[in-house]
A and B are shown apart, each in its own frame.
Chain A
Amino acid sequence: MAETLTVEVMFGGGAELLFNKVKRKEIALPPLKTFLPDSQNQNWTLKELLIWLKDNLLVEREELFLKDDSVRPGILVLINEEDWELHGQLNYELKENDKIMFISTLHGG
């Protein structure tokens, strides 16, 4: 069996509504070159994970999740419970068992 990379993705704050109400899911990513043969990267980064999520889990209104090549304003991305800004954002290289959270910020009160 080809090497797969297992990571957990979590959605909250309403972002789960774009993913068929799934709040957490363990996903097995195939070798990057099988998913994206043209990719510049050797290993999975957040950038490719976003594309994978769009193709595989996102069920509606892509514009409420993505903007340009990144996540839209107002969604906090957390890598193992830390802001992705602390880890290189899109360039973060995924590791086995990483927990990646996409939390839409709330404004209600």
Chain B
Amino acid sequence: MDRVSVLETEISELRRILKEKENELQELKSLISDQQSSKELNNHSQPISDASKSSVDACLPKWAIERYSRQILLSDIGVEGQVKICSAKVLIVGAGGLGCPAAMYLAGAGIGEIGIVDYDAVDLTNVHRQLLHHESNENTSKAFSAAESLRCINSKIKITPYNVQLDSKNAQQIASAYDLVLDCSDNVPTRYLLNDLCVMLKIPLISGSALKMEGQLTIYGYRRQDHHQETYIGPCYRCVFPTPPPPAAVGSCSAHGVAGPVPGTVGTLQALEAIKYVIGRTERHLLVGRMLLFDGEDATFRAVKLRPRRPACVACGDRGGGRLIDYEQFCNAPAKEKDLDLEVLPPENRVSANELNVMMNNEERGGRHLVVDVRNEQEYAMCHIQGSVNYPVENLHRNLEELIEKTKEFDGVVFVCRRGNDSQVVAKKVLDVTDKERWSKVKDLVGGLHSWSKNVDPDFPVY
């Protein structure tokens, strides 16, 4: 066993050195290729925005023709399209389940500059779907981890990681260097921020989202360029969703789960729409004014028609836009996929993990307690406290009375869940129909099973 740990230490040290050297090499290479490709490409092509003069005789250096030949062969892309791709600048917000596949395909396609924003660090629970991050990146910055993997895919492009939380103060400066933004974020405030930002900068926003087995995708704030004039075609995010949803209605991947290929599919399609936009496809071909609904459970795609742009929209309307606001306040939610810490119950109805452990081991003195786990069946099957019973919160509209009857066979009841929120909600429902003298017998576990794992049973999985 000693030999195992010695080898593990040595290997991780070697990996660290290898990574340093790789980074140094990449930096040097990208410096050289920056100089080369800007010479090679800019000599032959016009900037993308100058569409009217776009060069017909654009040509590419040998390496680029070889490297990108499989997509240049497409009549949709061709040499001219590839030149546009090589000089495009795309900002990806979120290096998660959507951002990883989107960035991989854009880097592969040779998008000239990719910016990737994420404030978060890699967690092992991300790795099943966020495929730019590897086991060895645990606890390191997602933006840097993504950039490092992208450089391994394509050393010929410029990749800029932004290890920051995008907000109203820094967003404009970061995004103004790009032609296009991909919303690969995971929360409502950031979605409104990105919408208002893109409207302000007059660049389109390719918005993807995914949860559980479903995904959604559309392009907001698309402007058609004709005769030196730009007009909005299709709505912005605020045209469709003028009012943020109630926070209780917003699900998250960490709370509700997600199948990796679902954001994988949506992120991949975001990359495809980005490439189509960059090479000059218009609203006739892009997901503008339409939203793609992907249901992975039924294997169906459905493109539905959205409402048009609202002239009175506060963002893209005739008198709208112009400034960014406090989006966390506007949405009444944090701009992080953060879990709530509810305080529904008074302190006397709550027990700590250690107290619960003592209660369960001292039945002669403290009486028999029923431990009710209110997580869903899949979570209960993953792990649960020995002796607990499962009454998922989502089924209680059917079997609350049965549960209450069952609690009467015991001297007390303790509700548990993952983090100690739902357990309070259920305990409150039970308290509402319990006689006052038994109130002190109904409790919930503070901090949920996370606290149980931390304080009582270190072998209990934290997920």
Q: Is B390 an interface position by the 8 A CB rule?
A: no
Does residue B128 face the partner (Cβ distance < 8 Å to A)? no
Count the A-B residue pairs with Cβ separation under 8 angstroms: how many? 111
Within 8 A of B (CB), among A49-102: 59-61, 63-64, 72-76, 78, 81-83, 85-86, 101
Flag if B307 contacts A86 (CB, 8 Å): yes
B350 within 8 Å of A (CB atoms)? no
Q: Mark B228-270, 1 if CB is under 8 A from A, else 0.
A: 0000000000001111111011111100101000010000000
A63-B246, A72-B249, A73-B245 known; A109+B209 contact, CB < 8 A: yes
Which among A17, A63, A106 has the highest number of chain B CB atoms within 10 Å?
A106
Q: Is the pair A106, B305 in contact by a Cβ cutoff of 8 Å?
A: no
B307 touches A64 (CB 8 A): no
Number of interface residues of A (CB under 8 A): 29
Contact with A along B174-207 (1 / 0, CB 8 A): 0000000001111110010000000000000000
> Quick check: is A105 within 8 A (CB to CB) of the other chain?
yes
User: Which one of B214, B246, B256, B308 lies within 8 Å of A64 (CB-CB)?
Assistant: B246
Residue on A nearest B291 in the bound complex, by CB: A76
Cβ-defined contact, B208 with A64, below 8 A = no
B251 touching A74, Cβ below 8 Å:
no
Question: Distance (Å) between the CB of B142 and the closest chain A CB?
Answer: 12
* A61 closest partner in B (C-beta): B248
A14:B211 contact, CB within 8 angstroms = yes
A108 touches which of B253, B298, B304 (Cβ 8 Å) = B253
The residue in A14, A61, A75 that gathers the most chain B C-beta atoms within 10 A of its C-beta is A14
Question: Of B44-52, B90-98, B358-366, which binds chain A?
Answer: B90-98
Name which residue of chain A comes closest to B249, CB basis.
A64
Q: How far is the CB of A68 from chain B (nearest CB, A)?
A: 12
* B305 in contact with A82 (CB, 8 Å): yes
Q: Given A78-B304, A83-B305, answer yes or no on A103-B293 (Cβ-Cβ < 8 Å).
A: yes
User: Is the CB–CB distance between B246 and A14 below 8 Å?
Assistant: no
Question: Please, how many angstroms separate the alpha-carbon atoms of A74 and B332 in the complex?
Answer: 14
Whether the Cβ atoms of A109 and B263 lie closer than 8 Å is yes
A73 to B212, CA, bound (A): 21
In this assembly, does B447 line the interface, its C-beta being within 8 Å of a C-beta of chain A? Answer: no
A31 interface hit (Cβ, 8 Å): no
Q: State whether A81 and B187 are in contact (beta carbons under 8 Å apart), knowing that A14-B251, A106-B251 are contacts in the complex.
A: no
* Set A13, A23, A60, A109: member contacting B96, Cβ < 8 A: A109
Which residues of A have CB within 8 Å of B298?
A: 23
Specify which chain B residues have a CB less than 8 angstroms from the CB of A60 in the assembled complex.
Answer: 397
Whether A108 and B252, one on each chain, are in contact in the complex, defined by CB atoms closer than 8 angstroms, is: yes
The residues of B that contact A61 with a CB separation of less than 8 Å are 248
| B302 CB within 8 Å of chain A | yes
Query: Contact partner of B188 among A23, A81, A101, A107, CB < 8 A?
Result: A107
Determine if B249 and A74 form an interchain contact, defined as CB atoms under 8 angstroms apart. yes
Residues in A with CB closer than 8 Å to B97 are 108-109
- Using A59-B397, A104-B249 as known contacts, say yes or no to A109 and B208 having CB atoms under 8 A apart: yes
| Across-interface contacts of A101 in B (CB, < 8 A) | 304
In contact, A107 and B250 (Cβ under 8 angstroms): yes
Least CB distance from B326 to A in Å reads 18
Contact A73 B304 (CB under 8 A): no
Taking the complex as formed, is B283 at the interface, i.e. its CB lies under 8 A from any CB of chain A?
Answer: no
Does B295 have its Cβ within 8 Å of any Cβ on chain A? yes
- Choice from A23, A63, A74, A83 contacting B304 with Cβ under 8 Å: A83
Complex alpha-carbon distance, A104 and B258, angstroms? 16
CB distance from B262 to the nearest CB of A (A): 9
| Closest chain A residue to B95, Cβ basis | A109
Other-chain contact of B216, A13, A63, A72, A75 (Cβ < 8 Å):
A13
A residues bordering B, Cβ < 8 Å?
A: 12-14, 17, 23, 59-61, 63-64, 72-76, 78, 81-83, 85-86, 101, 103-109
Using a CB–CB distance below 8 Å, which chain B residues touch chain A? Answer: 94, 96-99, 183-188, 191, 208-212, 214-216, 240-246, 248-253, 256, 258, 263, 291, 293, 295, 298, 302-308, 337, 394, 397
Enumerate 29 A-B pairs (CB-CB under 8 Å) in ascending A order: A12-B214, A12-B295, A13-B293, A23-B298, A61-B248, A63-B248, A72-B245, A73-B242, A73-B244, A74-B246, A74-B249, A81-B305, A83-B240, A83-B305, A86-B307, A86-B308, A103-B293, A104-B245, A105-B216, A105-B241, A106-B214, A106-B251, A107-B187, A107-B209, A107-B250, A107-B251, A108-B253, A109-B98, A109-B208
Given contacts A64-B246, A106-B216, A106-B251, 13 further A-B pairs with CB under 8 A are: A13-B211, A14-B211, A61-B248, A73-B242, A74-B250, A75-B245, A76-B304, A81-B304, A83-B304, A104-B249, A107-B250, A108-B258, A108-B263
